[in-house]
Chains A and B, each alone.
Chain A
Amino acid sequence: AQKVTQAQTEISVVEKEDVTLDCVYETRDTTYYLFWYKQPPSGELVFLIRRNSFDEQNEISGRYSWNFQKSTSSFNFTITASQVVDSAVYFCALSERSNFGNEKLTFGTGTRLTIIP
């Protein structure tokens, strides 16, 4: 069965520090997709990034960067120079093969990130 583990339940850092959120996954599929979503205090879920299993290039988007390593089944997320607005719960997710193809997402339990001003 598919599994996504986010071992860090809560992290607090002081503003402007860098922080890395860990994500480890398990899958038997050879083709799969990994995602990060952000859930701010207002409660909505915001898509951040999608990465397919054939693309191990790291990605940077502004202060956000993602490190995908198939060898360790990890898809870690780093925020550089953190800001108070980054305070949220962050979810890692893995696409799962379903009866119709590859349409289901399995979510980790989330990491609550608090940025202290």
Chain B
Amino acid sequence: NAGVTQTPKFRILKIGQSMTLQCTQDMNHNYMYWYRQDPGMGLKLIYYSVGAGITDKGEVPNGYNVSRSTTEDFPLRLELAAPSQTSVYFCASSDTGPGSNSPLHFGNGTRLTVT
């Protein structure tokens, strides 16, 4: 049982490049989330999903896109990378949502630098 797996762990992008951050979970969780953590700051929600085919914007969705074609995978797409997207990205999943007795399980993060 691997939990939430994020790849890659580190990535450097040039301005204007695009990439996809991968996230997969093997716990059959319905709810999945993408957060970003800027230095000295808390986590800000980018996008989330409550099940396959259902996604919604979080607090800071601009510059990102997501899809949820399967329960296991929730990739985050960056188009036209900008320096402001330099951050650590965390993917998380939850069985029935944090409003129930089901905490978020986080991946180990992807450290992205855009130069």
Contacts and interface: CB of A to CB of B under 8 A. Distances in A.
Contacts of A47: 103-105
Interface of A (DSSP majority class): strand
Contacts of B54: 100
Interface residues of A, number: 28
Contact of B42 (A102, A104, A109): A109
Contacts of B92: 45
Given A50-B103, A104-B48, A44 B42 contact: no
A109 to B, nearest CB: 4
A91 B56 contact: no
> How would you classify the secondary structure of chain B's contact residues: helix, strand, loop or mixed?
strand
A35 interface: yes
28 contacts: A9-B40, A33-B99, A45-B43, A45-B92, A45-B106, A47-B103, A50-B101, A50-B103, A91-B42, A91-B43, A95-B98, A95-B99, A98-B48, A99-B56, A100-B50, A100-B56, A101-B50, A101-B97, A102-B97, A102-B99, A103-B31, A103-B97, A104-B33, A105-B45, A106-B45, A109-B40, A110-B40, A110-B42
Interface of B: 31, 33, 35, 40-45, 48, 50, 54, 56, 58-59, 88, 90, 92, 94, 97-99, 101, 103-106, 108-109
